[in-house]
Structure 1
């Protein structure tokens, strides 16, 4: 729904809970490899729930795999479920292992790297991209033209 200044009088005086039909997404990690994963170059499972402000995804890195260098204008908090590696944020190397959390600030170039030669890494990513999308489709994501550095 889209509102403008003329709709200000429609502002409610009482808040009512708006409970959507779907409140549960079973088997999230059973859906790792699809078009979204192919586009990103690593496994990503999308949590499909009706949040208007937050997204939740499960990222998967094969042994010694890294994500592409990229940046976006929304915040990200990662929670490492399994594995060991690091996240490069601009020129800072943030080492992580299962049980750690990592913050990626707005518009910072970054990539996630699984250091292990035999074991997979998995993380939960919470982002506020839907908030920006719902404010007028202003969520932006950019990938570097090269894995070696910034464009």
Structure 2
């Protein structure tokens, strides 16, 4: 390769690296180059999640215990939800998807009027913007589930919304 070609390629590469560090609009799409870089987050584990305590505001708003798994993900979140014996949550909806994995108990999730029964070991999908609520069918035992959501991704894009039935956005 001649020096001229090498220098041109080096200059284009340096320009591309510089361009990656600025904000782009749609007209600049041809200037973006995928250059993944591993950036180690400050921590990779959240030990004893439930011992860290309930998230007071969320637990109060949802009317059941909620424990946030505090990890540095920018795209997915995980919470541990609990339903007291016989408890029925408020009907709500949000722009993010949810997958529930049932750890303990037996109940149902009502999604847009359809009752989906679940028990320990089951997984339930809640589509975005679907009205839903959860019911523990036992009058004696609590129910517990893990909820995985893409809420952080939508929050980072500025489009995450949540609405409780009967309240304005």
After superposition, the C-alpha distances for 1:96-127 in whole angstroms (9 at most, x for unaligned) are 00000000011110001100001000000000
CA distance in structure 1 between the aligned counterparts of 2:143 and 2:79, rounded to whole angstroms: 14
* TM-score after normalising by structure 1: 0.87
Shift of 1:90: 0.7
CA distance in structure 1 between the aligned counterparts of 2:116 and 2:135, rounded to whole angstroms: 10
After superposition, the C-alpha distances for 1:24-54 in whole angstroms (9 at most, x for unaligned) are 1111112125222112211000111110000
SS at match of 2:140: coil
Does the C-alpha gap of structure 1 residues 17 and 7 become closer, same or farther in structure 2, counting only changes over 3 Å? farther
C-alpha RMSD over aligned residues: 2.1
- Figure out how many residues of one structure are paired with residues of the other and give that number: 145
The question of 1:63 aligning with 2:85 is answered yes
Shift of 1:14: 2.9
Unaligned residue ranges in structure 1 (runs of 5+)? 147-151
Unaligned residue ranges in structure 2 (runs of 5+)? 1-20
Does the C-alpha gap of structure 1 residues 2 and 58 become closer, same or farther in structure 2, counting only changes over 3 Å? farther
Shift of 1:18: 1.5
* TM-score after normalising by structure 2: 0.78
Instruction: Give the ranges of 4+ consecutive aligned residues of structure 1 lying more than 6 Å apart after TM superposition.
Output: 6-10
Larger helix percent: 2
- For 2:147, the equivalent position in structure 1 comes to 125
Larger strand percent: 1
Q: Which has the higher contact order (CA 8 A, sep 6+)?
A: 1
Larger radius of gyration: 2
Does the C-alpha gap of structure 1 residues 2 and 142 become closer, same or farther in structure 2, counting only changes over 3 Å? farther
